[in-house]
A and B are shown apart, each in its own frame.
Chain A
Amino acid sequence: MNIVDTGAPGMTAETEVQSRSEALESATAAAGGNEPTARRTVGDVTVPNPVMSCRQVNVRYGDKHAIRNVSLDIAHNEVIAMIGPSGCGKSTFLRCLNRLNDTIPSAVVTGTITLDGQDVYEKRQDVVQLRARVGMVFQKPNPFPKSVYENVAYGPRIHGLAADRTELDEIVQTSLQRAGLWEEVKDRIEDAGTSLSGGQQQRLCIARTIAVGPEVILMDEPCSALDPIATARIEDLIDELKQNYAICIVTHSMQQAARVSQRTAYFHLGDLIEVGPTDLIFTNPRHRLTEDYITGRFG
């Protein structure tokens, strides 16, 4: 099925490309009109029974339009990778999902994002509760300058998840075990979290995130500060974690996206260009921009 671009000037090249590609029906097409410069997304953004669902999400930082009309579903127990050149809005999109953009005064988010059917930007939605359900792991390992134990115990403590010390000890231990860090740190649980190696710190941050039992884990380039061995460990971990969590990972490494994810979303200058099963995106991209990016022509 062919579509014609919404008709913004200067987009003939894309129009030509997109004429080769398949449009999606669903909600995206229905609300495409209010952002004239937005490009249509190629591929199916929807999944059955999604854990999170974003429709027509726009983010502006003052005059800068960082994300345009992005619609994307996140499925249970899957890893979805977001790739794209720097400044394309992947991280911004990620930070919409747990409303971390709220901390930037100039950021304005429109559109709807739902978690289990409930709008997360609704007034009634408590940000604290949302962030407990949608955890986040950052680019640079950022353990608190406290002990390993305190790092993991912090979330359960502020959310009151443990009734007593034994219960807390248990949460800390299982979280560290799930993050694959327990064997390495069980004898130095009272050491400073910052004294661990970079890869261990990042796994500590993952343990800290899963300690509050989230449904979705957002990972913003979690391996970009790590060496290949530590990266491999994190990737294995991500693979295990997807049994229990939905994981959104932003990455600059296409190999990483190919290794860990089941679906891939390609962002370009604030637009979600293409979404699809990872193996298809990497073997048979339908949009020219996607193809250019994954073949290394730019980015």
Chain B
Amino acid sequence: MNKPQAAGMPPSQQRIRERVERGLARRYRAERRFRAYGLMAALSGLLFVAFLFLSIISTGYTAFVQTYVRIDVRFDPELIDPEGNRSEEALRMGDYGGVLKQAIREQFPGVEGRRELRQLYNLVSEIAAFDLRDRVLDDPALVGQTREFWLIASDDIDQLVKGKIDRALAEEQRVVSDLQLGWLDALTRDDRVERRFNRVFFTAGDSREPEQAGVLGAIVGSFLTLLVTLLLSFPIGVAAAVYLEEFAPGNRFTDLIEVNINNLAAVPSIVFGLLGLAVFIQFFGVPRSAPLVGGLVLTLMTLPTIIIASRAAIKAVPPSIREAALGMGASQVQVVAHHVLPLAMPGMLTGAIIGMARALGESAPLLMIGMVAFIADIPASLTDPATVLPVQVFLWADSPERAFLERTSGAIIVLLAFLLVMNAAAVVLRHRFERRW
């Protein structure tokens, strides 16, 4: 009886069984198809991300190297310190541009004429003169000597060495002349051209000259802005979440607050920029372009995210813990401070970090409050003019010089690296402090 033979089954049962078997193949096909769709969706997502990374990294990685040329430099006392008193003041005022030009001329004797000479000088960046000055200030004994130095090449030469400028083009179609090509080849033959790590990119602020431009100003600006955002939005957000979850009476007023917070999370970020412009800058007179006002605006933008994440984290604290503490005679504040907050903290921190990561990537509201200005100095305080990484990307992407293309991608890579680190921190936090109860 427990193993009925197909033949012995009543016809109705047999019919059911046949139908089920006929349908089975179709069911499995549908299941496989469904799985394939899901896989395809996931893969296409991955593909886009891979494409994005590939495209950015392939254009951007060259921003981290820079071409240098080796040139014999004679520190002519006539140019540096004509009066011969060797004081620091005098050394600082020396004509290092002249020293540089002289050095290049001596490298290629026989170049005559203003146009040719200008092209010749153009091999090396003007920033190299400051480099020479710094070396002399470090070691005044250099004056009068001849030394060999690796000098930073100009952006056009750098691009040519990196293969970003097509040598096969006609001369009038490329930014590097035939003469410059010849000189560069001569230098290359002498082993006087080298690509090195681009220190300037990480230690300088913005500049109109690509080879002098760096992301440090934007990184510091981003850091200061995010510092303001974190210091304001985390305590305010957590306090609001605790109040709404633990203390607020359930009336229409709190419902209204709740709906508004959720709506705030969906407000386009540029609107927060306008609000910041109108309220913080116009009304309260906070200096514009400064990390302070940027941080305030991003706080407005980040608050809903943190409040929502914190409320979810508080809700996730099991009621049994709350009851245990209440049953012990803990007051409501003690329950929150001793039990709910410590248990909800990982979730709150995760929410804060994700909110911060969003704020780090935000550019639109900062455009409205003037953080889009060209600022070459590295900001030293919260009220100094500054810009942030995404806005720096925006600025460079607008620049006509070819070398800014790779620097734009380079800045994006730096930005993405920061975002990845922050998201990784959120994941680590979640895993480390995750408690079971």
Is A212 in contact with B328, judged by CB distance below 8 angstroms?
yes
Q: Among A105, A129, A142, which residue has its beta carbon within 8 angstroms of that of B249?
A: A105
A-B pair count, CB < 8 Å, reads 69
Instruction: State whether B321 touches A105 (Cβ < 8 A).
Output: no
Q: Per a CB cutoff under 8 Å, which of B321, B331, B436 touches A144?
A: B321
B343 touches A105 (CB 8 A): no
The contact string, 1 if C-beta is below 8 Å from chain A, for chain B 292-327, is 000000000000000000000000001011111111
Using A158-B329, A158-B330 as known contacts, list a sample of 10 further A-B pairs with CB atoms less than 8 Å apart, ordered by residue number in A.
Answer: A105-B249, A131-B327, A131-B329, A135-B327, A140-B320, A142-B323, A143-B324, A154-B338, A155-B329, A209-B327
10 smallest beta-carbon distances between A and B, as pairs? A131-B329, A136-B327, A142-B320, A132-B329, A142-B324, A155-B328, A128-B329, A145-B435, A145-B437, A158-B330
Are A129 and B328 within 8 A (Cβ)? no
Are B327 and A158 neighbours in the complex by a CB distance under 8 Å?
no
Q: Is the CB of A138 within 8 A of B326?
A: no
Set of chain A residues within 8 Å of B322, measured between Cβ atoms:
103
A194 close to chain B: CB less than 8 A: yes
Q: Does B146 contact A (CB under 8 A)?
A: no
Complex interface residues of chain A between 142 and 163 (CB less than 8 A to chain B): 142-145, 154-155, 158-159
> Are A208 and B323 CB-contacts (below 8 A) given A144-B339, A158-B334?
no
A98 at the interface (CB under 8 A from B): yes
Q: What per-residue 1/0 map shows which CB atoms of A192-222 lie under 8 Å from chain B?
A: 0010000000000100110010000000000
Q: Is the CB of B329 within 8 A of A212?
A: yes
Q: Is A3 an interface residue (CB 8 A)?
A: no
Cβ contacts under 8 Å, B327 to chain A: 98, 100, 131, 135-136, 138, 209
Chain A interface residue number, banded: 20 to 34
Contact status A138-B320, CB under 8 Å: yes
Residue B113 at the chain A interface, CB threshold 8 Å = no
Contacts of A209 on B, CB cut-off 8 Å? Answer: 327-328
CB 8 Å contact bits of B232-247 with A (1 = contact, 0 = none): 0000000000000000
**Inter-chain contact B331/A128, CB cutoff 8 Å:** yes
Residues of A within 8 A of B325 (CB): 144, 154
Question: Using Cβ atoms and an 8 Å threshold, which residues of chain B touch A127?
Answer: 329, 331
A128 — which chain B residues lie within 8 A by C-beta? 329-331
Residues on the A chain within 8 Å of B8, using CB: none
> B250 contacts the other chain (Cβ, under 8 Å)?
yes
Interface string of B424-437 (1 = CB under 8 A from A): 00000000000111
Within 8 A of B (CB), among A83-138: 98, 100, 103, 105, 127-132, 135-136, 138
In the complex the two chains form, is B435's CB within 8 Å of A131's CB? no
Partner-A contacts on B (CB < 8 A)? 249-250, 318, 320-331, 334, 338-339, 343, 435-437
For B321, list chain A residues within 8 Å (CB). 142, 144-145
CA gap between A194 and B321 in the complex, in Å: 12
Identify which of A130, A131, A194 contacts B437 (C-beta below 8 A).
A194
B251, chain A: closest CB distance, angstroms: 10
| A158 and B327 alpha carbons, distance in the complex (Å) | 12
Residue from A130, A136, A145, A155 within 8 A of B343 (CB atoms): A145
> By the criterion CB–CB under 8 Å, are A103 and B329 in contact?
no
Alpha-carbon distance A155/B330, docked complex (angstroms): 8
The CB with the most chain B CB atoms within 10 A, among A98, A127, A145, is that of: A145
Alpha-carbon distance A299/B94, docked complex (angstroms): 101
A152 smallest CB distance to B (angstroms): 10
Cβ of A61 to closest chain B Cβ, rounded Å: 14
From A100, A143, A194, A205, contact of B326 by CB (8 A):
A100
A179 to B15, CA, bound (A): 66
Which single residue of chain B is at the shortest CB-CB distance from A103? B326
What is the CA–CA distance of A132 and B329 in the complex, to the nearest angstrom? 5
Q: Which residues of B contact A205 (CB under 8 A)?
A: 324
Q: Is the CB of A154 within 8 A of B323?
A: no
In the complex, residue of chain A having the shortest beta-carbon distance to the beta carbon of B343:
A145
On whether the beta carbons of B328 and A154 are closer than 8 Å, the reply is yes
Instruction: Please name all residues of chain A whose beta carbon is closer than 8 Å to the beta carbon of B323 when the two chains form the complex.
Output: 100, 103, 136, 138, 142
Give chain A nearest CB distance to B279 CB in angstroms.
Answer: 36
In the complex, what distance in Å separates the CA atom of A135 from the CA atom of B327? 6
The smallest beta-carbon distance between B199 and chain A, in angstroms, is 49
**A-side contacts of B249, CB under 8 Å:** 105
Q: Which of B324, B328, B343 meets A158, CB within 8 Å?
A: B328
A-B contact pairs, 14 of them (CB 8 A): A98-B327, A100-B323, A105-B249, A130-B329, A132-B329, A135-B327, A136-B327, A142-B318, A143-B324, A145-B321, A145-B435, A155-B329, A158-B338, A194-B437
Q: Distance in Å from the Cβ of A247 to the closest Cβ of chain B?
A: 15
Cβ of A128 to closest chain B Cβ, rounded Å:
5
Would you call B250 and A105 a contact (CB within 8 A)?
A: yes
CB contact between A194 and one of B330, B334, B436 (< 8 Å): that residue? B436
Q: Give CA–CA (A155, B334) in the complex, Å.
A: 11
Docked complex Cα distance between A154 and B323 (Å): 14
A110–B327 alpha-carbon span in the complex (Å): 21
Tell me the nearest residue of chain B to A140, going by C-beta: B320
Cα–Cα distance between A208 and B323 once the two chains are bound (Å): 13
Residue among B318, B324, B328, B330 with most chain A CB within 10 A: B328
**In the assembled complex, which residues on chain A have CB atoms less than 8 Å from the CB atom of B435?**
145, 194
Give A102 Cβ to nearest chain B Cβ, in Å: 9
Tell me the bound Cα distance from A130 to B250 in angstroms: 25
CB distance from A211 to the nearest CB of B (A): 9
Shortest distance between the CB of B363 and any CB in chain A (Å): 41
Chain B residues, CB < 8 A from A194: 435-437
In Å, the complex CA distance between A194 and B339 comes to 14
Considering only CB atoms, which chain A residue lies closest to B323 in the complex? Answer: A138
A107 CB to closest chain B CB, in angstroms?
Answer: 13
A159 to B331, alpha carbons, bound, how many Å? 10
Q: How far is the CA of A212 from the CA of B325 in the complex (A)?
A: 12
Determine which of B250, B324, B329, B338 lies in contact with A138 in the assembled complex, contact meaning CB atoms within 8 Å.
Answer: B324
